[in-house]
Structure 1
Amino acid sequence: MQRATLKAWFLVHKWTSLVCTVFLLLLCLTGLPLVFWEEISHLTGADPEVAPAAAGAQRANVDELVARALQQYPGDVPLFFGWDDHSPSVYVNTGARPDTPPPEMHTAVLHEYTGELLPVAPFNEGVMYFIYRLHTDVFVGLPGMLFLGAMALLFAVAIVSGLVLYAPFMRKLPFGTWRTGRSRRLAWLDLHNVLGIVTLGWAFVVGITGAINTLAQPLEQAWQTEQLGDFAKQYEGRPRPTRFTSLDAAIATARTAEPGMTPAFVSYPGTGYSGDHHYGVFMHGNTPLTERLYRPVLIDAETGELTARPQLPGYMTALLLSQPLHFGDYGGMPLKILWALLDLLTIAVLVSGLYLWAKRGSTEARVTEIERAGLAANGQDAAT
């Protein structure tokens, strides 16, 4: 590799790493407990256990469950109905009006079979929520999410440039060489390189999927405007219905329309997910990965007739797939443990990178070091 090209790649790696490292450390440190969010919630009692259904029990009528939830919040209207895939419980979101923003919604949790009201696990409070907000938007909403997404993209560039530099640096050295005899800085450099190359694929995937996840709100708005907006034009001039047909029957219709899928949640008219005249029954798959892929089934809220089954656009599919890939929560505890170990190794890469920057020499000296390492005989110490 030409010296000028090598120097250019070194500068790219140096500055992209420096700009994003502190924020990546924040994301790695906060992401570690988030991998085990469900387990921590169970241990702390924040997510109480739900009694299993009795043998042969039948699910309660959905309309009756919604009515019971509304009794808890007089004057509210129903907004969303959803299922917990890991327990026999359902939730009902209500609000003062159909376009109530999420922070102002009320939530009721009920047993899917008995209709018993269950404790509502607090989501927007506690240590785990604090960590979640730090990880996703540093408490400043969409601007914070987009900023962290930009840092994740810089991290991806740092990974690629580090790979380019790794090839000439390690050309004549065995993989995993860790030279500890003469220079502390050299030992840290070898540690940084070997951990970086071991975690490279995982870190790149997690960085890119993290950047995609920060675009969730704009992508959802684009989908609602593009696809649902075009669909809603067919109903322009018609007032939003005030009396709805049976939600239980609408869900049954959606199950028939998508027999290989199960319902994940239902949106009511006016919430932004299914227009002003339809239930949106969002179906998903039955495997740990496909349960994140949704297929909306639109049911006329006045007549109960199946109206449409629009396909999610590619960018929404990419968003939904990026979420389990980012957190590693689609393969059970073994995958979560692997994600945690790789997260810890990535923290070591970031810390060693900061150490190397603190003990830095001139750019010319660093490029010379890379060149000499590449020309060194096998096992020879390239340090001066």
Structure 2
Amino acid sequence: MKKKLHLWHRYCGLVIALPLIIISLTGSILVFKEEIDHLIMPELASVNASPGTRLSYDNLHTTIKHNLPNYEIGSWEIFDDGQTADRVYVLKHGTDEWFKVYLDQYQGIVRTTPQAVDYYLTDWLLDLHYKFLIGETGLWFTGTISLILMFMGISGLIIYRQFWKKFFTLRLKVKRIAFFSDLHKLVGIWSAPVLLILGFTGVYWNISEIIHHEFEHADEPPHLVKGPLYNHQLSLENLMVTAKTQMGGFRATYLMFPFEPDLPITFFGDVANTSFVTSEYASTVSFDKETGKQLPNYDIREAPFFLVAVDSFRKLHFGYFAGLPSRIIWCLIGLTPLIFAITGCYLWLKRRKPKRRMQHKNEYVTS
């Protein structure tokens, strides 16, 4: 059994080596997506203001509509740290295509014309990481890679089930094949828990997206946005005040507008007294898109354990649950598949050579 498991572990590693390296390297980079955006395009992604001085939602909403009359707002990432510009995602009239603009929320300036959601470097890397640049088909591909990654992590721990004995074993003054074998095992032992988390959360998200796109909306034609799907006379500022009043300690981080006929206006945000792995989008307050009447809200503090666990996947996957230290660790572990690929391929090739020599020798003898 162990021999067969070892064989499957080896061949699965060879099959997914290249795509796994791509997914892992892009993931390591995306751990610092915000910092990279601020560094390479500060004129778009960065602001310099005092936190708490952003303009009202109504003022900013009017500014966006004035600057983008041929688009409808679909969603809006909200920041108030004095450093990060808001990101607004819009749909062009007559299409179901999404575009992205940067908004200076402190001065009321739309900084860019609408660009494709994968136009900027880190957004392109995100699409490569998530869908391999091939749309919904990429969800199946990356989901499969994540499943195999989970299998390799579990099978590796089973194969080396006495792994605690090798926690610090790395022989240096030995032949290269022995060194690479030690390095492969050592890196695998240390990185397995995080890789299992990354694989599991990745599989969950991919399966969720596949179910949403391929099954729940498979027979529905795409909705082409031809105009506003909500009452533009509603005061977003008043809705925000209501959200804070109804849910103590609520801080909005994301605003979703109706981009399909049956959707409400929804504020996503975080609340006080939650776990360190609770995401900043964990709780929601929704309103009727025409009347502004409050709909039942969703408070993560009152949610069942399963939903709380699912919400924690965001911080666990991207590694920002403990600030900079956890992000650095996640970034470094994202590089380990490169080590696995180099050491694993080297060991596979070296171990095949004796078999080939023996095969040639037997053929020579029999002839």
Query: For this structure pair, what is the TM-score category when the shorter chain's length is used for normalisation?
Result: 0.7 to 0.9
Q: Which residue of 2 aligns with 1:44?
A: 40
Confirm or deny that 1:189 pairs with 2:181.
yes
Alpha-carbon distance in 2 for matches of 1:15, 1:335? 31
Superposition deviation, residue 356 in structure 1: 1.0
Q: Which residue of 2 aligns with 1:382?
A: none
- C-alpha contact (below 8 Å) 1:199/1:346 kept by paired residues: no
Confirm or deny that 1:268 pairs with 2:264.
no
Confirm or deny that 1:282 pairs with 2:273.
no
For the structure 1 residues 64 and 100, does the alpha-carbon distance in structure 2 shift closer, same or farther, using more than 3 Å as the test?
Answer: farther
Alpha-carbon distance in 1 for matches of 2:242, 2:216? 23
- C-alpha contact (below 8 Å) 2:101/2:112 kept by paired residues: no
Alpha-carbon distance in 2 for matches of 1:151, 1:80? 30
Superposition deviation, residue 74 in structure 1: 2.2
Alpha-carbon distance in 2 for matches of 1:182, 1:213? 43
Alpha-carbon distance in 1 for matches of 2:161, 2:288? 60
- C-alpha contact (below 8 Å) 1:78/1:268 kept by paired residues: yes
Superposition deviation, residue 9 in structure 1: 2.0
2:237 aligned counterpart, secondary structure: helix
Q: Which residue of 2 aligns with 1:176?
A: 168
Alpha-carbon distance in 2 for matches of 1:283, 1:362? 58
- C-alpha contact (below 8 Å) 1:111/1:118 kept by paired residues: no
Letter in 1 for 2:318: F
TM alignment of 1:96-245, pairs within 5 A: 96-97=92-93, 100-102=96-98, 105=99, 107=101, 109-112=103-106, 114-118=107-111, 124-167=118-161, 175-179=167-171, 183-215=175-207, 217-218=209-210, 244-245=233-234
Superposition deviation, residue 303 in structure 1: 2.7
Letter in 2 for 1:290: T
For the structure 1 residues 267 and 284, does the alpha-carbon distance in structure 2 shift closer, same or farther, using more than 3 Å as the test?
Answer: same
Which runs of 4 or more aligned residues in structure 1 lie more than 6 Å from their structure 2 counterparts after TM superposition? 222-225, 311-316
2:234 aligned counterpart, secondary structure: coil
TM-score calculated relative to the size of structure 2: 0.77
Superposition deviation, residue 72 in structure 1: 0.8
2:82 aligned counterpart, secondary structure: coil
- C-alpha contact (below 8 Å) 1:292/1:321 kept by paired residues: no
Confirm or deny that 1:14 pairs with 2:10.
yes
Deviation string 1:163-216 (CA, Å, 9 cap, x unpaired) is 122136x79x76534445564322221221122112221221122222223345
Instruction: Give the number of equivalent residue pairs.
Output: 337
Letter in 2 for 1:139: L
Q: Which residue of 2 aligns with 1:53?
A: 50
TM-score calculated relative to the size of structure 1: 0.74
TM alignment of 1:46-85, pairs within 5 A: 46=42, 47-53=44-50, 59-85=54-80
For the structure 1 residues 266 and 30, does the alpha-carbon distance in structure 2 shift closer, same or farther, using more than 3 Å as the test?
Answer: closer
1:194 aligned counterpart, secondary structure: helix
Unmatched 5+ stretches in structure 2: 218-228, 356-367
Q: CA RMSD in A?
A: 3.6
Structure with higher Rg: it is 1
Unmatched 5+ stretches in structure 1: 226-239, 365-384
Letter in 2 for 1:351: I
Q: What is the percentage of aligned positions where both structures have the same residue?
A: 24
Q: Which residue of 2 aligns with 1:256?
A: 245
